[in-house]
Structures are given as C-alpha cells and as structure tokens.
A and B are shown apart, each in its own frame.
Chain A
Amino acid sequence: MSERFKYREDREAYSAARVRALEALLIKKGIITDRTVDTVLEFFETKMGPFNGAKIVARAWVDPAFKERLVADTPKAIAELDLPDGMAGAEGEHMRAVANAPGVHNLIICTLCSCYPWPVLGLPPYWYKDPTFRSRAAREPRAVLAEFGLPISEDVEVKVWDSSAQIRWFVVPERPAGTEGLSETELEALVTPEAMMGVAVANAA
C-alpha cells in the first residue's frame, strides 16, 4: 500500500511539473498570460454556479414578499438581486422557481443537460442525465426520493417538473427549523444544489 501511495505522489509531482512547463512556455511565447487560467475559470468559480441559487433561496427565506415575487415572475425577481449579468439573460430567462411548502414537495428532472438551470445550480451531477433516473422520477418519485434518503410522507404531495428548452425549473426548499437567528449569508451556506433540485431538503448546519 505504501508503495502505491509513493507511486501516486511521484506521479502528482510529475504531472504538476509538466503543467508548470506547459504554462510557462505558453506565457513566454505570449500565447497566454499568467492571468488566463484564473480568468477563464472565473466563469465557473464566481459567476455561474450554485452560489447564485443559494443567494436567491436565502433571500426568499428572509423576505416572504420576495419569495412570492420569485414564484410569480422568476426572472424579474432574480433581477432585483445583485447577481452577475446573464443570470436573467439568455440562459436564465425561462427560469421558473417552485417553492416547497408544508404539504408540497417539488422535484425537478430534465432530459438534456443543456436544459439544466446552471446559472443558479451549477453543473448537474452524473446521475441527473441518466434516463433511468429521469423515467423513474417521473413514474415513481416517492420511491426515487426514498432512495436518496428522503422519504416523503403520504400526506405531502410530490410534484415533478420536467425542464425543457422552454422552462428550466428550480426548487426553493423550505427554510430549516432553528435557523431564525441566522443572517442571510449564513443561510446561503445551508442551500445545496441537491436541495434546489428537490432530491434533498435544506438542513440546519
């Protein structure tokens, strides 16, 4: 085992050195700059991703009137927030939020990854595009949710929303109990992509 571990460490160092050489050479030739990598990855790390969805949900938790506007006209409500451009633009303009409530649990599915609401949820997980997940979630959502560790009691209605090129759904989970004293920023940390897909609920930390 220790041998394999050493092999792995050596290979890490070797790969790291290869990338350093490649980047340095491309910079030396003026093809890229030392800022290029950070600039291109900024898109995933700070502009478009689940952190945006978390901000939207946390605002809905602290401001019931915002939550109402969010469900009634999602792009317009999102535009009220100080989020990166494009959130309510080409990709975001068909976005629709559905809110969980004591008697209702929402689940989103989609056939095509390109229909995933990524400005707010980030990249979809592997299983999301699996045809089995999609068809089973449409047919027997309670059984699928139970497999995700989320049994839904019989008196709660489960609504399944199928995203398409026209409408990309996301879920506003319920605010967890015992979070009354938390700030909006602290609440953001409790919102996971899974909760915004409806395969989990938000939990207090």
Chain B
Amino acid sequence: MLTQFEHFAVTEMLGKPDSPPRANGTLCFGSDWERTSFGIALALAKEGYFEWDDFRDELIASIRTWEDEHPSDHSSWNYYDQFLTALESAVVKTNLLTASELSEFFTLGDQVNQ
C-alpha cells in the first residue's frame, strides 16, 4: 500500500513522541536549517545509509534527554534542535562521518563565514 519511502517515513512518526511539527497539511519548518536537517535525514535513510527506525530511536532518545533536563520550563523547546542532535549522532554511529571531522569542519566553516 505505501509505495513512497517519504510517505512511509513521515506516516510512521505521526501520533508518536517524535511526530514532526506540521501546519495546513504540510511539514512546518521555522527556518532553512530545520528544513535541511529533515531533508538530509530522510535522504540518508532513503538511500539506506541507516534505517529510519534506528534514526527515530536516536530522535526519541534525544527528545527524552531534553525533557529530563527541562522538567518544567519548556520555553526553549525546538523539535529540530533534537532532530539535528539525533542526525549528528546517527551519521557518526553509522561511520558516515567521524565526530572529529564534524567538529573540525564546523570550526572551519565558522571561520570562513566570519
């Protein structure tokens, strides 16, 4: 019945703790980096670099950690902060990138942009 990976991936999340924000029938991105994070994760899973379910386990774990650290004040909540943390963790765990490559490139990118 489900013919498209994109459809399957998002439908699986709906009604679960990692359900993505949406409005008017579409995914709801607050900024470009949120959209890019989502697109990268979906594309990597679609290409088989990791299982979508494994990525979702990372995401649910990172949401749970955030909730434990913010038991009452949720004013700084952003779904895609947790999504990005989970994505970084997933690419490192599957050996696509190493943590040191990521941090080196982050610093380098920062300098170039300044």
Binding site for B on A (CB under 8 A): 4, 7-8, 11-12, 15-26, 29, 31-32, 36-41, 43-45, 48-50, 86, 89-91, 113-114, 118, 121-126, 129, 165, 192-193
Residues of B within 8 A of A8 (CB): 76
Kindly count the residue-residue contacts between A and B in the assembled complex, taking CB atoms under 8 Å apart: 141
Q: B81, A89: Cβ atoms under 8 Å?
A: no
- Say which residue of B19, B26, B102 sits within 8 Å of A22 (CB atoms): B102
Q: B39, A114: Cβ atoms under 8 Å?
A: no
Residues of A within 8 A of B31 (CB): 12, 16
Q: A91, B88: Cβ atoms under 8 Å?
A: no
The answer to the question of B71 belonging to the interface, with a C-beta cut-off of 8 Å to chain A, is no
* Majority SS at the chain A contact face: helix
- Say which residue of B15, B26, B75, B102 sits within 8 Å of A21 (CB atoms): B102
Q: How long is the Cα–Cα vector from A36 to B6 in the complex, in angstroms?
A: 13
Q: A123, B26: Cβ atoms under 8 Å?
A: yes
Residues of B within 8 A of A44 (CB): 6, 10, 26-27
7 smallest A-B Cβ distances: which pairs?
A122-B25, A37-B39, A50-B25, A193-B25, A16-B33, A43-B6, A21-B106
Binding site for A on B (CB under 8 A): 1-4, 6-7, 10-11, 14-15, 19, 22, 24-27, 31-33, 35-40, 42-44, 46, 49, 75-76, 78, 80-81, 84, 87-88, 91, 96-97, 101-102, 105-106, 108-110, 113
- Closest CB of chain B to A120's CB: distance in Å? 9
- Closest CB of chain A to B53's CB: distance in Å? 16
Residues of B within 8 A of A165 (CB): 1
Residues of A within 8 A of B6 (CB): 40, 43-44, 48
- Say which residue of B3, B19, B24, B49 sits within 8 Å of A86 (CB atoms): B3
